[in-house]
Structure 1
Amino acid sequence: MNNCRQVLKSGAAAAGIWTVTGGAQAAQLNATSLSLVWGIPFAGMLLSIALLPLLAAHFWHQHFGKVTAGWALAFLLPFALVFGMGTAVENLVHALLAEYFPFVILLAALYTVAGGIYVRGNLRGSPGLNTGVLALGAVLASFMGTTGASMLLIRPLLRANDDRRHQAHVVVFFIFIVSNAGGALTPLGDPPLFLGFLKGVDFFWTLRHLWGPALFMNLALLGIFYLLDRYLMRKADETVLPDPTPTVDVTGSVSHLGFKGKINFALLLLVVGLVLMSGLWRTPAGVEIFGTHVGLPGLVRDLGLIVVALLSLKLTPRGVHAANEFGWAPMQEVAKLFIGIFLTIIPVIAMLKAGADGPFGFIVRAVTRSDGSPDETMYFWVTGVLSSFLDNAPTYLVFFNTAGGDPAHLMTDMALTLMAISAGAVFMGANTYIGNAPNLMVKAIAEDRGVNMPGFFGYMIWSVCVLLPLLVIMTLIWFR
């Protein structure tokens, strides 16, 4: 995504886990001289995702890939003309090899493995059960990544609620909790925290310092959801509706609560192990392709993930995918949309990385008081707001470095500042569909199952009404 940064996410966004690729990178830009005009393709990409499903739904669903390609070319072609074909090719190759392909490979592996786990049993989407599933997801997210937990639980939750008139709010809160807030306690949970771990932040530092904000956010969201879900069920008198969920499992036997495709739990652990390996194995070995260093750990990880996905397809019992209504449409949608985001965001992140001297210098200066001390309130909100619309992992790195970049100093004397940066990146990634990798994936799966999800701005109404008051309270308690 960003040809200027030294530390690169390597595609583990899908699992909420990221790695360092190191070595040579794409040609450097003098970001201080870039014009804000270079951000137009990225803004157009965001507006297309936000508006076209509302204004031209049929056109969007038929041609969103072409729209994405159009915005990508709107950046790449002028970029090649201004900076030269060589620089454009180097940055394109860098975005594809160092970031996009690893991103899609890991996302596809998790999607395939989680799609091979079928939670059998005639679950009813009662307020109690729904709240319990969300609470379970909040716990799992910090240990298997927000996307790992999301892909594991979204399908059984949708199936449990397939007889409910009101379903969209269940998915919205699922994104709030499982896909975001639940991943705040360990570096395995969310991409920004894993990047901090790779930069030198102790593994258990986030647990010791973020448990309070995480507990507050998750308990508050679970409580709000339970009350809302109970109200909507009573309002619609949904308890008297028949339950169309099958009472037999995928083999035709009487269905009892349990799992089919258990081999995929082992494969899921293997996915986590491969990603951790790529982050902890340090070696200069690798290959150079058009100025991009593709490290040996990343190559081993990606090949291993492809093997894991193929093993899942091979070993999953027949009928499990059909029972899960597993299909590739959500994966294809996310893969197409994110390549446009990965490419068009290049100049935006570069301008942010330029710091106080760059086009977005006013944003960087906003987090520092007049006496030079850090303003934790501003660190929390500026990191969070940018994480809502940009990728939250590089946004975390921008402000990690703005705060000095020394992990030993940040973990001790500036612990509150690092808390603000971490909390802003993790919790406010839930503010929009594009704030964190699993958000859009969960939305696509829900829509594929027939749930009438809110559009981009409709979802933001939910986040403003539900998350914003909680974020304000969090600020007053921890970051004032």
Structure 2
Amino acid sequence: MAGAELGLSWVLPFAGLLLSIAVMPLVAPAFWHHHFGKIAAAWTAALLLPFTLAFGAADTGHVLVHTLVEEYLPFTILLCALYTTAGGIFIRGNLHGSPALNTGLMALGAALASVMGTTGASMLLIRPLIRANDNRRHNAHVVVFFIFIVSNVGGSLTPLGDPPLFLGFLQGVSFFWTAQHLWAATLFLLAGLLAVFWVLDSWLYRKEGITPPDPTPDAPALGIEGVVNLMPLAAAVGLVLMSGTWKPGIVLDLWGTPLPLQALVRDAGLVGVTLMSLWLTPAGVREKNQFTWAPMQEVAKLFIAIFLTMVPVIAMLKAGPAGVFAPVAAALDSPLAYFWLTGGLSSVLDNAPTYLAFFNLAGGDAQRLMGEGAAVLAAISGGAVFMGAMTYIGNAPNFMVKAIAEERGVKMPSFGGYLLWSGAVMLPLLLVMAWIWMH
């Protein structure tokens, strides 16, 4: 799509979808809960119908095929594989949501996030964390900090951690490059977030008057059920790595959309991983985990609308000085500018295509960016991953964790309420971190 030919009116369906996600759960929660899929479909139609009239059915078909086959389906298949395998692992034990336990689980999740992905780590640990805190009067803040720490910042060190870094890996960025250049900023943010959480959680814990109960004699011993799912989980990680390292040079064409053989093998393998997990998981484990498909369905329905309606936005960004977002391209005069602009847009766009847009605006040459452009590439990477935590829609695991928590009865903040949390906690830490490292 030629982004330079598009005007700002093409942003309206995407803006309307974002506004619906932000406002409707607050003003009409029951209506939104029952009809969010139809609302998302209506905003998608509000883009595709005028687009068909303006550019023709053929171009619209190309956009649909490209977005669904090259972006949405691989994204959803990977999420589904990680959601299914992690949902088949039940961490049992007499867990009580003390500040020490909560902080420890989040630190563990942050360590796992760059190994098994923010989605995998989030899905593995969010259920035991909610279960440990289900007797707390104040527990929404636990889930909010979990999103900050495990679903976002913890995944900033490898291409396995977060989708934007995986896209960079596919573009030629070395596997360990991000860890080498973002480890200090990541540790600073994680230490700051864990410290703020521990202070806040300790204060609320004392205010509630809860004392850690002694384990009862019949309490189950700490352990893991469904450990067989570690095998398909490892297979999912291996498939992701394979698709970035194996280059057979065989590319199929689907109506103008290139389909590399390694991507097809990866996606087919991930479907197999999902089915393997469902087959191997012992009976009763998912029931103990209170596993349902509702969070995955919500993400799948909302993100297909997000991916499609943001197509013109990404195209206009990629047009750079030739498009309506020329002031954005003109402002990219320093690593700090790349960090805030990539991060700011990652907060409201999905952070993976946003990363790719700014990667291309910076030249799109991985070898040059890893060398003389290292500061810019680090800023783009950090902005996309860190600031995906700023809103529920900045990163897919955010929405999944929110949906699981609400399913378990946690009264999560609204879209605007979550933004207040991220503005009060994440933003000051990001300001200090950017002042030290993003230059």
TM-score normalised over the length of structure 2:
0.97
What aligned pairs does 1:289-438 form with structure 2 within 5 A after superposition?
289-368=254-333, 375-438=334-397
Do the aligned residues in 1 keep the contact of 2:169 with 2:244 (CA within 8 Å)?
A: no
Q: 1:223 aligns with which of 195, 202, 221?
A: 195
Question: What is the aligned partner in structure 2 of residue 443 from structure 1?
Answer: 402
Q: Is the counterpart of residue 470 in structure 1 residue 435 in structure 2?
A: no
Residues 421 and 247 from structure 1, CA distance in 2 versus in 1: closer, same or farther, beyond 3 angstroms?
farther
Do the aligned residues in 2 keep the contact of 1:122 with 1:247 (CA within 8 Å)?
A: no
Residues 94 and 413 from structure 1, CA distance in 2 versus in 1: closer, same or farther, beyond 3 angstroms?
closer
Question: What is the aligned partner in structure 2 of residue 161 from structure 1?
Answer: 133
- The Cα shift of 1:164 comes to 0.9
Q: Distance in 1 between matches of 2:365 and 2:53?
A: 38
339-348 or 198-207: which moved more?
A: 198-207
Q: Distance in 1 between matches of 2:6 and 2:70?
A: 23
Q: Distance in 1 between matches of 2:380 and 2:366?
A: 13
1:259 aligned counterpart, secondary structure: strand
Residues 104 and 479 from structure 1, CA distance in 2 versus in 1: closer, same or farther, beyond 3 angstroms?
closer
Letter in 1 for 2:353: P
2:211 aligned counterpart, secondary structure: helix
1:413 aligned counterpart, secondary structure: coil
Question: What is the aligned partner in structure 2 of residue 281 from structure 1?
Answer: 246
Do the aligned residues in 1 keep the contact of 2:318 with 2:358 (CA within 8 Å)?
A: no
- The Cα shift of 1:195 comes to 2.0
Q: Distance in 1 between matches of 2:361 and 2:310?
A: 20
Which digits, 9 at most, give the CA deviation of each residue in 1:77-98, with x for residues without a partner? Answer: 1111110011111211222222
Percent identity of equivalent pairs: 62
Do the aligned residues in 2 keep the contact of 1:165 with 1:238 (CA within 8 Å)?
A: no
Q: Distance in 2 between matches of 1:190 and 1:246?
A: 40
Q: Is the counterpart of residue 146 in structure 1 residue 115 in structure 2?
A: no
1:397 aligned counterpart, secondary structure: helix
Specify which structure has the higher proportion of helix. 2
Q: Distance in 2 between matches of 1:247 and 1:40?
A: 60
- The Cα shift of 1:290 comes to 2.4
What aligned pairs does 1:129-278 form with structure 2 within 5 A after superposition?
129-239=101-211, 255-278=220-243
- The Cα shift of 1:188 comes to 1.6
Q: Is the counterpart of residue 109 in structure 1 residue 68 in structure 2?
A: no
Do the aligned residues in 1 keep the contact of 2:160 with 2:240 (CA within 8 Å)?
A: no
Q: Distance in 2 between matches of 1:177 and 1:152?
A: 14
- The Cα shift of 1:386 comes to 0.8
Residues 405 and 105 from structure 1, CA distance in 2 versus in 1: closer, same or farther, beyond 3 angstroms?
closer
Q: 1:455 aligns with which of 404, 411, 414?
A: 414
Question: What is the aligned partner in structure 2 of residue 99 from structure 1?
Answer: 71
Q: Distance in 1 between matches of 2:362 and 2:270?
A: 35
Q: Distance in 2 between matches of 1:247 and 1:271?
A: 39
Q: Is the counterpart of residue 64 in structure 1 residue 36 in structure 2?
A: yes
Do the aligned residues in 1 keep the contact of 2:78 with 2:270 (CA within 8 Å)?
A: yes
Q: Distance in 2 between matches of 1:311 and 1:416?
A: 42
1:294 aligned counterpart, secondary structure: strand
Q: Is the counterpart of residue 82 in structure 1 residue 54 in structure 2?
A: yes
Letter in 1 for 2:148: F
222-231 or 100-109: which moved more?
A: 100-109
Q: Distance in 1 between matches of 2:61 and 2:171?
A: 29
287-296 or 40-49: which moved more?
A: 287-296
Letter in 2 for 1:385: G
Which digits, 9 at most, give the CA deviation of each residue in 1:214-257, with x for residues without a partner? Answer: 000000000000010011111121337x89x9987xxxxx6111
2:224 aligned counterpart, secondary structure: strand
Gaps of 5+ in 2: none
Q: Is the counterpart of residue 40 in structure 1 residue 5 in structure 2?
A: no
Residues 408 and 94 from structure 1, CA distance in 2 versus in 1: closer, same or farther, beyond 3 angstroms?
closer
Residues 408 and 89 from structure 1, CA distance in 2 versus in 1: closer, same or farther, beyond 3 angstroms?
closer
Which digits, 9 at most, give the CA deviation of each residue in 1:402-426, with x for residues without a partner? Answer: 2222323322322222221111111
- The Cα shift of 1:30 comes to 2.3
- Once superposed, what is the RMSD of the aligned Cα atoms? 1.7
Gaps of 5+ in 1: 1-28, 249-253, 369-374
1:389 aligned counterpart, secondary structure: coil
Q: Distance in 2 between matches of 1:456 and 1:42?
A: 16
Residues 50 and 32 from structure 1, CA distance in 2 versus in 1: closer, same or farther, beyond 3 angstroms?
same
Do the aligned residues in 2 keep the contact of 1:121 with 1:247 (CA within 8 Å)?
A: no
Which digits, 9 at most, give the CA deviation of each residue in 1:425-480, with x for residues without a partner? Answer: 11111000111121111111111111110011100000000011101101221124
Q: Distance in 2 between matches of 1:438 and 1:73?
A: 26
Q: Distance in 1 between matches of 2:359 and 2:268?
A: 31
- The Cα shift of 1:265 comes to 0.8
Do the aligned residues in 1 keep the contact of 2:97 with 2:132 (CA within 8 Å)?
A: yes
TM-score normalised over the length of structure 1:
0.88
295-304 or 334-343: which moved more?
A: 295-304
Q: How many residues are matched? A: 439
Q: Is the counterpart of residue 31 in structure 1 residue 3 in structure 2?
A: yes
Q: Distance in 1 between matches of 2:412 and 2:157?
A: 29
